[in-house]
């Protein structure tokens, strides 16, 4: 019997695709954000209100994943920005190849911001790198405060935690401070914003985060271009 050392990652094939996507996003100064949550936490609603509030000259595209139906793509397409549905046909997560395949329809030169709305699932999408700059996890106040402890992987891997539906806080026994403390227990450096997709000004914290990250991505692309001059 011989023991061969095997030093690669199990999802090495996906990792290779993801790294190539990340490199292409970086070259073109695209900020790619991968939104992950349970079904019904408000990813599509947040994206709808975000698209509605963006300046029409913003060069934003959306890839939205679901197991079945193109309902979300139809909802998101109303705002005049390019949207594609990725229907996985049973698969519980998006992977790098799906992103690569759908991006082929767009010219990356024309994109500054790419949202990927993952399949509603708090577990499986956390294992698949899509080349994004950041994973963003959403949790709504109608869920449990202990979700960051029950699903630590996604809270650990996300740069930003958006607590959604905060307009419902008066009606539900949900302690937002406990939920945030739980997220920080799992991931001390995680950034947190509170959001409501229905209340006036409910997206202010999130949009401020987004504006700051987009400016930073453009800055990075400029310095990278100067470095190669």
Partner 1 sequence: MHELSIAESILAAVRKELAGHPGARPIRVGLRIGELAAVDVDSLTFCFEAVVKGTEWETLQLDARVCPQRRLCRDCRNQFAVVEYNAACPACAGRNTSLTSGDELDFDYLEVETDATPAAQVKGAE
Handedness of CA 189, 194, 197, 203 (dihedral sign): negative
Nearer to partner 1, 49 or 93 (CB): 93
Nearer to partner 1, 11 or 108 (CB): 11
What CA–CA distance (Å, rounded) separates 36 from 115? 11
Nearer to partner 1, 91 or 218 (CB): 91
Q: What is the CA radius of gyration of the chain?
A: 18
| Minimum distance from residue 11 beta carbon to partner 1 (Å) | 6
| Minimum distance from residue 139 beta carbon to partner 1 (Å) | 15
Q: In the complex, which residues of this chain contact partner 1 (CB under 8 A)?
A: 1-14, 91-93, 95, 123-124, 126-128, 149, 151-154, 156-157, 184-188
Q: How far apart are the first and last CA of the chain?
A: 55
Kindly give the pairing relationship between strand 83-87 and strand 113-117. Answer: unpaired
| Minimum distance from residue 212 beta carbon to partner 1 (Å) | 23
Pick the closest to residue 125 from 13, 9, 11, 209 (CA basis): 11
| Minimum distance from residue 117 beta carbon to partner 1 (Å) | 17
| Minimum distance from residue 90 beta carbon to partner 1 (Å) | 9
| Minimum distance from residue 136 beta carbon to partner 1 (Å) | 16
φ, ψ for residue 143 (rounded to 5)?
A: -100, -165
Nearer to partner 1, 15 or 142 (CB): 15
What CA–CA distance (Å, rounded) separates 165 from 162? 10
User: Treating both helix axes as pointing N-terminal to C-terminal, what angle do 43-53 and 204-227 enclose, rounded to 10 degrees?
Assistant: 70
Nearer to partner 1, 108 or 186 (CB): 186
Residue 55: Cβ within 10 Å count: 6
Nearer to partner 1, 13 or 110 (CB): 13
Q: Which residues contact 229 (CB under 8 A, 6 or more apart)?
A: none
């Amino acid at each position: 019997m011989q023991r061969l050392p095997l030093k690669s990652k199990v999802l090495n094939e996906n990792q290779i695709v993801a790294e190539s996507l990340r490199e292409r996003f970086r070259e073109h100064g695209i900020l790619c954000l991968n939104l992950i949550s349970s079904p019904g936490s408000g990813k599509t609603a947040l994206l709808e209100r975000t698209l509605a509030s963006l300046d029409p000259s913003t060069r934003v595209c959306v890839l939205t994943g679901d197991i079945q139906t193109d309902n979300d793509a139809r909802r998101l397409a109303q705002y005049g920005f390019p949207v594609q549905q990725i229907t996985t046909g049973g698969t519980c997560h998006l992977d790098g190849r799906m992103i690569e395949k759908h991006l082929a329809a767009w010219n990356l030169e024309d994109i500054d911001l790419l949202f990927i709305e993952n399949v509603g699932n708090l577990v499986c999408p956390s294992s698949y790198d899509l080349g994004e700059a950041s994973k963003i996890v959403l949790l709504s106040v109608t869920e449990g405060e202990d979700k960051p402890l029950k699903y630590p992987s996604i809270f650990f891997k996300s740069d930003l935690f958006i607590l959604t539906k905060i307009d419902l806080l008066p009606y539900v026994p949900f302690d937002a401070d406990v939920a945030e403390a739980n997220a920080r227990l799992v991931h001390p450096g995680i950034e947190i914003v509170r959001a409501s997709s229905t209340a006036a000004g409910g997206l202010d914290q999130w949009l401020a985060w987004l504006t700051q990250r987009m400016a930073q991505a453009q800055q990075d692309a400029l310095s990278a271009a100067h470095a190669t001059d």
